[in-house]
Structure 1
Amino acid sequence: MGAQVKSFLYWILFTIQLVSCQRLSLPNEFLSGKDICDTFMSALGKVCDCSGRLLHLVPSYVPDDCFILDLSANEISNIERHTFVRFQQLERLYLNSNNIQAIHPHAFDGLSNLTVIDLANNKLLEIPPRTFTDTRYLQVLNLTHNNLRVPPTIGHLNRLQELIISHNSLRFVTSSAWTGLIALRILNISSNHLVKLYADSFKGLRYVVTLDLSHNSLNTIQNKAFSSLVRLEVLKLNDNQLTKIDENAFLDLSMMTRLDLQNNQLFSIPLSFQNGFSSLKHLNLQGNKIVEISINSFKHLSNLNVLNLNDNRLQIVAGRSFLLLPQLVMLDLRNNQIEVLPADVFIGLRTLKVLDLRNNRLKNVGKIMHPLFNLETVLLSDNMISYIPVDTFDQCARIIEIRIDHNNLTYIPEGIGHSKTGSQTLKGLSLADNPIKEISATSFGRFSSLQLLRLSNTQLNILPIDAFTQMPRLLQLWLDGNQLTTLHKGMLGFLPRLTAIHLQGNLWDCQCDLHYFWSYMDSRGISSGIDEKPVCHSPPILSGVTLEVAFAVKECLEDNGAFSVMEIEILIPIIVGAIVLMFLIVACICITAGHKNPIYAKTIPSDGNTARAMSLPSFASLNSMSSSSPLTLPPRNGTNSTRYHNHSSIFHERKLHRTTRPNLDRQGSYLSINVPTPGGEYASPYAQPYSQPRDHPSWFQDSDQREDIY
């Protein structure tokens, strides 16, 4: 009856747990492995998963034949005697992320097949000397994130291959700590409080391949501190406080391939590099205070592939500094204070593929690239470069990527736009964050392989239709962050493989030109960027509206009060040509009319108060007359008018009193020549017309509406 009540109460609590979606802390008498642990088969064997159950004790009914037992993320605080003695087949035991403070010396008795034990993220202060006596096949022991002050005494674990004691409180290590660990290959003592390494600190560890001493407080490494590590390949000393390394500190490390000294306090290249480093391939000196590099700084590092000098205080880099590094593939000199590099600084680097000079103070690159025949990537961003010679990259026959962002370029330099070798191999070019104001049709030569072109955050306000005519393989184009107002759809016709053009952050004028461009983009499935959608800047009715919404309709919005830039470019030559043509036509008509009807005027002596004038018909009236139509002149002295035929003189003399007003022809124009005093010369037929009186009928009566008919 008691068992039934117990089972009933358990199922009630289990139901509440399911409904509330919270794990309940059940009394120990209700806990059993059968009820709360998941058991399943894996490729390695039976797995008993009891992790994350808020257990305070190891469950009593976990199957004995577990191959893997996971008790991580619980609240177990102590491991009692013979807790796991019944798990004879157990090979992996996970006790990490508990609150374990103490372990009984015989807690792991009987685990003769155990190979992995994880005690990370607990509160252990020490490991009793005979704790792992029966685990003679143990290969991995993880004690990271505890409070250990001395390394554990585990010399009898002669099959142990990996020991992790990082994130503890170790203050020193002695050679006796590692006695008997003849199979150890990986030793991690990072993130402790080690201050000094003495000679033979790692005596007996002849097979260690990786030693991690990073994130300690080391300031001194004595000579022969690593002399016993004859098979060491990777040594991590980064994030310490090293100011000096003794000359023979790395003696006999002939097999080491990787050395990390990042984020220390070194002021110069250690002399210890000149002894016994013939196999080194990766050297990291980032984040130190090195000021100068000399020609002998990397002596005897003939197999070095990667050299990282990022984030130092380099000001002087001597010529031929890297001459003795014939196998170097990557050189990182970014985040320094380099202003000038000698032309021969990179001589000997025939295998270099990546050169990083970002964030220095370079103003000119000169001819430093000429010896780099196999260079593939060059990073020159965040300098003060304003000029790149035309032959800068001509020797770089395999160049793939050039980044020269955030410099002082005001135009596309010839050394990039017309590089002979780059035109065939270059795939990525970034000129973003430069004050480039203009790109012409000749700014870029032929880039047959270019796929990515970044022109973000420059000062471009217009792009000609033929700006990118010689980039047939371009896939992405960045034009964001400029001052562009419109683009011509014909520009995309030269980019058949374009998949994305980034347009956000411009001053787009959402009228017909841009509408046609956007519609053409949409028809080809070209993306406008994924980070931010481009928006209209004008006209005011569409300000702030995305181009996608503004151009959702088929009809374009045209501002009748203004012409677009494209229209102005087209209309100006048409208007100028029309004006010139009209001028030529008028000139031809005038010349032809002058030859057919020569016009002369003769002065007639005046008699007292009268003056002679000869009337000139207007051009319109001359053109309207036929050869046989008579010409009627104003009457003379009140007499009737006299008719003359056009084949004779078309002028008739008349005496004009000063008070007599000249008659106008029916078109409101009147040409007259006032006759001077006797003896005057012939008057010009192109004399100024007789001014009309203000009360003439052809004038507007209202003074505000008057206009000069001439």
Structure 2
Amino acid sequence: MLALALASLSLLVWATDLCPPTCQCLHNLASIECQVKGLDQIPELPEGAEELYVSYNQIQEIPRSGLEKLQVLDLTTNQLNVFLSLNPVWPNMTKLSKLFLRDNGLRSLHPGQFVNCPALTLLDLSENQIEYLPAGFLHGLANLKALFLNFNQIQTLQVGGLEGAFTLADLHLSRNSITRIEDGVFTNSTALKKLILSNNRITRVGEASFRGVIGLQHLDLSSNLLVTVPAETLRDATRLEVLCLQINSLVTLPDSCFSSLRLLVNLDLSNNNLTTLSEGLLTGLTMLRKLDLSDNLIDSLPSKVFNDLINLKILDLYRNKLTSLPPYVFKTMTKLQELVLDSNQISNVPAGVFDSLSKLKELQLSHNRILNLHPALFSQLRSLQNLYLEHNSLRNVSSVLFHKMIKLKEIDLTDNQIRSLPPSVFHHLVRVFSLKLSHNNLSSLHSDQFKNLVSLNELKLDANHIGKLPTSLFVDLANLTTLDLDNNRLSEISPDDFVGLSHLKELRLSFNQLHDIPFNTFHPLHNLRRLLLKNNSLNSLRPQLFARLSQLTELNLDGNKLDHLQPDVFQGLTNLQKLSLKSNQLRSMASGALEPLRILNTVHLSGNLWDCTCQQILYISCWVNMHRNKLGDEPTCFFDSSSSPLSAYTPLSQPAMPPLLLQDQCTAKASSASFPLEMLNLLTVLLIAVGSP
């Protein structure tokens, strides 16, 4: 056994000795990794090496021998430009299947350059400075499947540039400067399946530009300068499945332009200058699944333009100039699942226009000019889950508008002009989890407004004119986690307003007109995490107002009129992490008020009337001094130039003077505080001592 172990160890040492210095050898010396090693030449390789990775070095030449058994050679980011210009034929590597020459400063290619690499299946020449493809440069590469020429300076695709690569399937030419494709370039490229020509400067394609691409499945011409595509251009591409023409300058497309593309699945025409679509433009595209026409200038749709799109699932017409929809324009699109019509100028949606879309899941009609919706407009959309109607001009909504959409999950009616809602408008929508009614003109709500919305998770009612919450308004919303009532006209809230909201985590009541909050208002909200009450008219808070909110992590009371705080006002807030009291009228704080906040990490206190000439200031002054790392701002003493001896920028953390020297009118108040005066004197002396140099 010992002899066997020693023999194994000797073999291991022998193998390690054969690995080139600074390199890592894997898979029994078959794979050699020497990336980023500062090498200026290829190291001597062990006998069985099959893969060599020497990217990101300074290698300037390739040895004539010693690499014959390699199958993969990665020379990305080296300095082979001079060597390849002086040696137009690559060294003999008959087993090499993958060669990476990305980013080597190559300026030119030569006919038959890789003839000694007949097994090559992948050749990467990206990120060089190649200006053209000479005829025959792929000669001898009968097995080449993928050719990468991205990020070069090629200006013209010349006839003969692809000769010899009879099995080429993937050709990547994006990010060049191609302006012209010669007729006949792809005549023998019958095996080509994917052709990427995006981000070039192609201004036109001829009728024979793609002659011969009978096996092409994916063609990307996006981000060029095309104005049109001749009807004959794609006649040979009968197997095409993906056609990308987005981000060009297309103004018009001829009738039956895509009629030969019977297998097309994805057509992207977005971000062009199309103003109209001919009625026969999409004829024959019965297999199309996705059509993107977004970001164009289309102002109208022919009534039969989509008739052949019987398998379409996604239609995107976002940000065009549509003002209306023909009544039967979607009639044959029975498999459509997503329809995007937002950011147009649609003012009227005809009744029945969506009746055939029984499988539609998402409908986007936001950012239009819609004034009214027919009561039966959505009656056939029984699969609809997401409905977006925000930023329109709706004034009212029919009581039966949503009733048939039993699978609806999200409704967005933000930023309309809705003044009132029928009590039963949302009834039976038991799957809705998000309802947004922000930025409307709602002044009141019915007590049954949200009845049966048992799945509702988010309710936004902010920026309306609501003055009072009806009794039991939220009683059915046991799963609600976010309730936004900001920017309304609420002047009071009742202890019963939030009954039933046992899972609520965020409550927004900012920018209202609240003067007082009854002591038990928040008692039902055991799971509340965030409570925002800023910019109201609160001048005081009831004792133990937040005592039941043990899970609360953030409390915002900015911009109110609070002039004092009860000693036990924050009792129970054992998990509070962020407290904001900015811009109130606080002159001092009751002793011990912040003591329940054991894990507080951020507090905002600026913009108050902190009276640093009064003994009552000593508690908050001492607390701030001892917890400076928790301050989210820089609170200062209130400065009254007529009577105060203080500087206008005296920090609240710095006591004004020893308590015995403070103004007499404050003494009586301070003596009633729970924090002993003797202790305040002692703390003040300690603070002064700590602060002195």
Q: Does 1:37 align with 2:131?
A: no
Percent identical among aligned pairs is: 26
Structure 2 distance, partners of 1:265, 1:35, is 48
Question: How much has 1:190 moved relative to structure 2?
Answer: 1.7
Aligned pair partner of 2:300 in 181, 185, 196: 196
Aligned to 2:636: 536
In the alignment, is the contact (CA less than 8 A) between 1:364 and 1:387 conserved in 2? Answer: yes
Aligned 1:283-362 pairs, distance under 5 A: 283-362=387-466
Question: How much has 1:565 moved relative to structure 2?
Answer: 10
Structure 2 distance, partners of 1:179, 1:546, is 76
Aligned pair partner of 2:479 in 364, 369, 374: 374
In the alignment, is the contact (CA less than 8 A) between 1:161 and 1:186 conserved in 2? Answer: yes
Aligned to 1:220: 324
In the alignment, is the contact (CA less than 8 A) between 2:467 and 2:489 conserved in 1? Answer: yes
Aligned 1:495-510 pairs, distance under 5 A: 495-508=597-610
Aligned to 1:144: 246
Aligned 1:121-520 pairs, distance under 5 A: 121-151=223-253, 153-367=257-471, 368-414=473-519, 418-422=521-525, 424-487=526-589, 490-508=592-610, 512-520=618-626
Aligned to 2:97: none
Structure 2 distance, partners of 1:148, 1:358, is 43
In the alignment, is the contact (CA less than 8 A) between 2:353 and 2:377 conserved in 1? Answer: no
Other structure's SS at 1:516 match: helix
Aligned to 2:208: 106
Aligned to 2:57: none
Question: How much has 1:361 moved relative to structure 2?
Answer: 0.6
In the alignment, is the contact (CA less than 8 A) between 1:376 and 1:400 conserved in 2? Answer: yes
Deviations 1:501-536 (A, max 9, x none): 2334445567753442124425xxx6323xxx3142
Structure 2 distance, partners of 1:388, 1:376, is 19
In the alignment, is the contact (CA less than 8 A) between 1:488 and 1:513 conserved in 2? Answer: yes
Structure 2 distance, partners of 1:257, 1:118, is 29
Structure 2 distance, partners of 1:508, 1:573, is 17
CA 1:227 to 1:565, structure 2 compared with 1: closer, same or farther past 3 Å?
Answer: farther
Deviations 1:655-687 (A, max 9, x none): xxxxxxxxxxxxxxxxxxxxxxxxxxxxxxxxx
CA 1:174 to 1:36, structure 2 compared with 1: closer, same or farther past 3 Å?
Answer: closer
Structure 2 distance, partners of 1:365, 1:161, is 52
Aligned to 2:671: 571
Question: How much has 1:98 moved relative to structure 2?
Answer: 3.0
Moved more, 247-256 or 173-182: 173-182
Q: Give the letter aligned to residue 671 of structure 2.
A: L
CA 1:333 to 1:34, structure 2 compared with 1: closer, same or farther past 3 Å?
Answer: closer
Q: Does 1:76 align with 2:178?
A: yes
Q: Give the letter aligned to residue 244 of structure 1.
A: N
Question: How much has 1:280 moved relative to structure 2?
Answer: 0.9
Q: Give the letter aligned to residue 433 of structure 2.
A: V
Question: How much has 1:286 moved relative to structure 2?
Answer: 1.1
Question: How much has 1:232 moved relative to structure 2?
Answer: 0.3
Deviations 1:472-528 (A, max 9, x none): 122222223334455567334312232222334445567753442124425xxx632
Other structure's SS at 2:377 match: helix
Deviations 1:319-340 (A, max 9, x none): 2222242322221111111111
CA 1:564 to 1:558, structure 2 compared with 1: closer, same or farther past 3 Å?
Answer: farther
Using the size of structure 1 for normalisation, the TM-score is 0.67
In the alignment, is the contact (CA less than 8 A) between 2:403 and 2:425 conserved in 1? Answer: no
Deviations 1:161-202 (A, max 9, x none): 211112223333355322332322110112223333343321
Structure 2: segments with no counterpart, 5+ residues: 1-80, 87-102, 114-123, 131-143, 640-644, 675-693
CA 1:546 to 1:231, structure 2 compared with 1: closer, same or farther past 3 Å?
Answer: farther
Moved more, 74-83 or 405-414: 74-83
Aligned to 2:44: none
CA 1:160 to 1:559, structure 2 compared with 1: closer, same or farther past 3 Å?
Answer: farther
Question: How much has 1:278 moved relative to structure 2?
Answer: 0.9
In the alignment, is the contact (CA less than 8 A) between 1:69 and 1:92 conserved in 2? Answer: yes
Using the size of structure 2 for normalisation, the TM-score is 0.69
Aligned to 1:48: 148
Moved more, 310-319 or 63-72: 63-72
Aligned pair partner of 1:562 in 638, 654, 662: 662
Deviations 1:38-67 (A, max 9, x none): 99xxxx99673532x555345998996987
Structure 2 distance, partners of 1:501, 1:46, is 60
CA 1:466 to 1:141, structure 2 compared with 1: closer, same or farther past 3 Å?
Answer: same
CA 1:505 to 1:107, structure 2 compared with 1: closer, same or farther past 3 Å?
Answer: farther
In the alignment, is the contact (CA less than 8 A) between 2:245 and 2:270 conserved in 1? Answer: yes
Q: Does 1:527 align with 2:630?
A: yes
Q: Give the letter aligned to residue 252 of structure 2.
A: V
Structure 1 distance, partners of 2:169, 2:587, is 69
CA 1:419 to 1:483, structure 2 compared with 1: closer, same or farther past 3 Å?
Answer: closer
Structure 2 distance, partners of 1:77, 1:275, is 51
Other structure's SS at 2:531 match: strand
Structure 2 distance, partners of 1:184, 1:114, is 16
Structure 2 distance, partners of 1:36, 1:347, is 62
CA 1:509 to 1:131, structure 2 compared with 1: closer, same or farther past 3 Å?
Answer: farther
Structure 1 distance, partners of 2:264, 2:664, is 78
Q: Give the letter aligned to residue 536 of structure 1.
A: T
Other structure's SS at 1:313 match: coil
Moved more, 227-236 or 193-202: 193-202
Give the structure with higher Rg (CA): 1
Question: How much has 1:212 moved relative to structure 2?
Answer: 0.8
CA 1:178 to 1:186, structure 2 compared with 1: closer, same or farther past 3 Å?
Answer: same
Deviations 1:590-634 (A, max 9, x none): xxxxxxxxxxxxxxxxxxxxxxxxxxxxxxxxxxxxxxxxxxxxx
Q: Give the letter aligned to residue 637 of structure 2.
A: H
Other structure's SS at 1:513 match: helix
Moved more, 424-433 or 175-184: 175-184
Q: Give the letter aligned to residue 457 of structure 1.
A: G
CA 1:387 to 1:134, structure 2 compared with 1: closer, same or farther past 3 Å?
Answer: same
Aligned positions, number = 541
Aligned to 1:97: 199
Other structure's SS at 1:491 match: coil
CA 1:195 to 1:516, structure 2 compared with 1: closer, same or farther past 3 Å?
Answer: same
Aligned to 1:707: none
Structure 1: segments with no counterpart, 5+ residues: 1-5, 12-22, 575-710
In the alignment, is the contact (CA less than 8 A) between 2:490 and 2:512 conserved in 1? Answer: yes
CA 1:573 to 1:174, structure 2 compared with 1: closer, same or farther past 3 Å?
Answer: closer
Q: Give the letter aligned to residue 103 of structure 1.
A: V
